[in-house]
Structure 1
Amino acid sequence: MRPGYFAEGPLARLTREFGLFGPLGDSTEPWMTAELDQHAAAVRDSIVADGGRLTRLGLSRYLDGFMDGCRERGWHSSCDGYDWETLRVLAVLRLAKEHGFVR
C-alpha cells in the first residue's frame, strides 16, 4: 500500500460517494475538465501558500474545513447539476486520486 493512503478517511469515503455521480475519471467534458483544473489549482495554492506540501493530511484538513463551511451555509450535495461547491469537492477528490491518496 502506498504511504499516505488511508482506506477509510474522509477523502476515500467522499471519493466513493461523489464518484457515483461525479466525473473523477479522465473522460469528462472539456468544460468540466477546465472547471476542475481551476478549482484544483486554487486548492493546491491554498494548501501550499505558506510553504507547505500537498499531503493527504493537508488535503483532508482542507476538505473538512470546506465541508464545514458548506454545512454552515446550508449547502447539501443533492442538487441537480454541478454547483460551485460540488465542483470544488470533486477537484479536491481528483487531486487526492492524482497524488495517490485514494484509489
Structure 2
Amino acid sequence: MRSGFDAQGPLARLSREFDVFGPLSGSTEPWLTAELDQHAAAVRDSIASGGAPLTSRSLTSYLRGFVDGCRERGWHSTSAEYDWETVRLLAICRLAKECGFVR
C-alpha cells in the first residue's frame, strides 16, 4: 500500500461517491475534460500559493475548505447538470487519483 494512502479518508470517500456519476475513470466529453483540467490547475495553483506542495494532506485540506465554503453559501447539487462546484469537486477527485492519493 502506498505511503499515506487512507482508504477511509475524505478524498477516498468523495472519489468513490463521485465515481458513481462522474467521469473519473472513463473518457469524457472534450468540453468537460477542458473544464476539469482548468479546475485542477486552479486547485494546484491555490495550494502552491499557500506555500504547500500538492500532497494528500494539502489536497484534503483544500477539499475541506472548499466544501465548508459551499455549505456556507447553501450550495447543494440536485441537478443532472455539471455546475461549477460539482466540476471543482470532480477535479479534486481526479487530482487525487492521478497523484495516487486514492485508488
TM-score (norm 1): 0.95
Instruction: Give the superposition deviation at 1:50.
Output: 3.6
Instruction: Give the superposition deviation at 1:97.
Output: 0.1
Residue 72 of structure 1 corresponds to which residue in structure 2?
A: 72
Could you give the per-residue CA deviations for residues 31-82 of structure 1, whole angstroms, max 9, x where no partner exists?
0100000000000000011432100000000000000000111111322210
Instruction: Give the superposition deviation at 1:26.
Output: 4.1
> How far apart are the structure 1 equivalents of 2:80 and 2:27?
20
Q: Percent identity?
A: 70
SS at structure 1 position matched to 2:34: helix
Q: What CA RMSD, in Å, does the superposition of the two structures yield over aligned residues?
A: 0.9
> How far apart are the structure 2 equivalents of 1:37 and 1:77?
21
- 1:14-93 to structure 2, matched below 5 A, reads 14-93=14-93
Aligned length: 103
Instruction: Give the superposition deviation at 1:29.
Output: 0.7
Opposite residue 74 of structure 1, the aligned amino acid is: G
Residue 9 of structure 2 corresponds to which residue in structure 1?
A: 9
The unaligned stretches of length 5 or more in structure 2 are: none
Opposite residue 18 of structure 2, the aligned amino acid is: F
